[in-house]
Amino acid sequence: MGIRHSILAVALACAVLTEVLPGAEVPRPARLLTLQQQPAAAADNPVWLQRLQRWVELAAHHRPHHDDADARAMAAWTHADLESVLSDLLALREFSARRGGENADAWKSRVISRGNDVVRIPQLELLFGLTDDEMQVGDWNRILWAGALLHTDIALLVPPEYRGSTGAPASVRFRDGQLDSYEYPVAVHWEMARKLLDASLVPPLAQGRLLVVRPDPSRDQAVLLWYKATVAQLLSSTVSITDARTQVDRGRQLFPEDADLLFFSGCVHEGYTGPDVQNATRSVSLPAGQTLDVGSPRSHLQDAQTFFRKALERNERLTEARVRLGRVLGLLGRHQEAADELRRAAADPGDRRLFYYACLMLGEEERTLGHRDAARDWFERAAAAYPRAQSPLLALSNVALTTGDDRAAVRAIERLRNLPVDDTGQDDPWVDYHFIAGRHAGELFDALMAALPAGVRR
């Protein structure tokens, strides 16, 4: 059995053995690692254990949410080594979780063997820095979270040149609408992080003598925050839209009723129809046999519509979901529905940026519906909300031109001429529209850090 298969086997075992009662006989689920009663001749530090030890060191030393030397060192690991570590780690955690009510001396006399290699339990405790209590209930959350955050940061923060070969299809980076480079993908690090959190336990871990070992990330608010924060971060860069989709899909499996994740799901699908992704599909000439798997814009718009509606059903005050729903409906050609949603969104003046979007988009829908006076009115409102934004002025000019009012078209352009010339500044929120769904990622990460298990947050 190869490394990849061993991971699958361990994952399956974990799924089955989610609850172990005291005194239950310890089964032997793992293929490579076995738990033995009698000590054998112990090899001090086999290679697989050294690898695991190094991983633990890097995870424990890494400063969460930072691109540091530990993250860069780990980023260089091969796919095979990462899978091996994950396999071994989860198997070891599984063994510790099945200690049950076994006497401490008896427990510590056990060894874990892998082929001819054996590891004593105290050696394991030392390696992972686990307390006896943590060991007793199989609470490896500190290690699991530290590892998950390490791999998260590799995926999000470490520059591509530090990444090792993963054997997976390359990621294609686009810059300014053109193919820029190929790079090793970070999907394996996302997968590592997800699997580590899948194995985390939800406190309270034990009640009286009844030992409950139930990895259930769907009950862990920190895990929910992790999904929200990471998806938000990924949405701020379309380079990562594939990862964003996988991440939000998994998050939604765990938290199907969460309005924010439903909203983010809509944003991911809307993002697939955005200019960066669509330009890439139109422009890039890939080598034979390589394709960009992005799906049709229309199907993404339909999916986006569905998710935005679901998000609003659960939280009708999610104005941004309504704005985006309106835009998506417009792109689907359902202009009256779009106008209705955008009008509702524009009635909420709480967020100037969202109000601006709603006005701008509503102006466009009114123009499409043939209501040119209304269109001009909404474009003017958008212009009033952001007086230095160019989009409402261009829209006003264009709507005038198409109605044959050339003087008004020129007047709107004159207003644009009076805007300050600043090549690097950014005064028009429309420019950021496709990236701002994740603008609260920083706050979400702060909330996540505060929610982490003691010993992980710094």
Partner 1 sequence: MSARTFLLVAALIIASGLNPTMTKSSDNTVSRPVCSDPIQTQLPTFSSRVETVPVDVLVMQDGHPLHGLRAADFELRDNGVLQRVDLVGVENIPLNLVLAFDISESVAGTRLGQLRSASDVLLDELRKEDLVGLVTFNHNVRPRSELTPDRDAIRAALEKVQAAGATALYDGTYLGLMTGEPATGRRRLQIVFSDGFDTCSWLQPDAVIQAARRLGVLVYAVSVAEAGRSPAFLRDVCDATGGRLMEIESTWNLSSAFLDALDEVRQRYLVSYSPQGVAREGWHRLEVRVKGRKVVVKARAGYFAGS
Q: Which residues bind partner 1 (CB under 8 A)?
A: 175-179, 275-276, 279, 282-285, 360, 390-391, 394-395, 397-398, 401-407, 409-411, 413-414, 416-417, 419, 421-428, 430-431, 434
Cβ-contact 135, 127 below 8 angstroms: no
- Phi-psi region at 70: left, alpha or beta (left = phi > 0; alpha = psi -120 to 50): alpha
Pairing of β 171-175 and β 178-183? antiparallel
**At 424, is the secondary structure helix, strand, or coil?**
coil
DSSP category for residue 370: T
Tell the smallest beta-carbon distance from residue 286 to partner 1 (Å): 9
Q: Between 296 and 402, whose beta carbon lies closer to partner 1?
A: 402
Q: Between 152 and 391, whose beta carbon lies closer to partner 1?
A: 391
The residue type at 287: P
Tell the smallest beta-carbon distance from residue 411 to partner 1 (Å): 7
Q: Between 19 and 414, whose beta carbon lies closer to partner 1?
A: 414
Which DSSP helix (H) or strand (E) runs through 172?
A: strand 171-175
User: How crowded is the C-beta side of 214, counted as CA atoms within 13 Å?
Assistant: 15
Tell the smallest beta-carbon distance from residue 396 to partner 1 (Å): 11
Tell the smallest beta-carbon distance from residue 368 to partner 1 (Å): 11
Tell the smallest beta-carbon distance from residue 404 to partner 1 (Å): 4
Q: Between 44 and 423, whose beta carbon lies closer to partner 1?
A: 423
Q: Between 97 and 382, whose beta carbon lies closer to partner 1?
A: 382
Tell the smallest beta-carbon distance from residue 351 to partner 1 (Å): 20
Token digits of residue 279: 């330009």
Q: Between 80 and 419, whose beta carbon lies closer to partner 1?
A: 419
Q: Between 208 and 425, whose beta carbon lies closer to partner 1?
A: 425
Tell the smallest beta-carbon distance from residue 420 to partner 1 (Å): 9
DSSP 70-116: HHHHHHTS-HHHHHHHHHHHHHHHHHHHT-TT--HHHHHT-EEEETT
| Residues in CB range of 430: below 8 A, 6 or more apart | 356, 357, 360, 389, 391
Nearest by Cα to 14 from 196, 244, 242 = 196
Peptide bond into 160 cis (omega under 30): no
Q: Between 283 and 315, whose beta carbon lies closer to partner 1?
A: 283
Q: Between 280 and 345, whose beta carbon lies closer to partner 1?
A: 280
Residue 1 to residues 4, 7, 52, 398, Cα–Cα distance (Å): 8, 10, 20, 65
Token digits of residue 47: 């290679």
Tell the smallest beta-carbon distance from residue 167 to partner 1 (Å): 24
| Residues in CB range of 33: below 8 A, 6 or more apart | 88, 91, 92, 95, 112, 113, 114
Tell the smallest beta-carbon distance from residue 330 to partner 1 (Å): 11
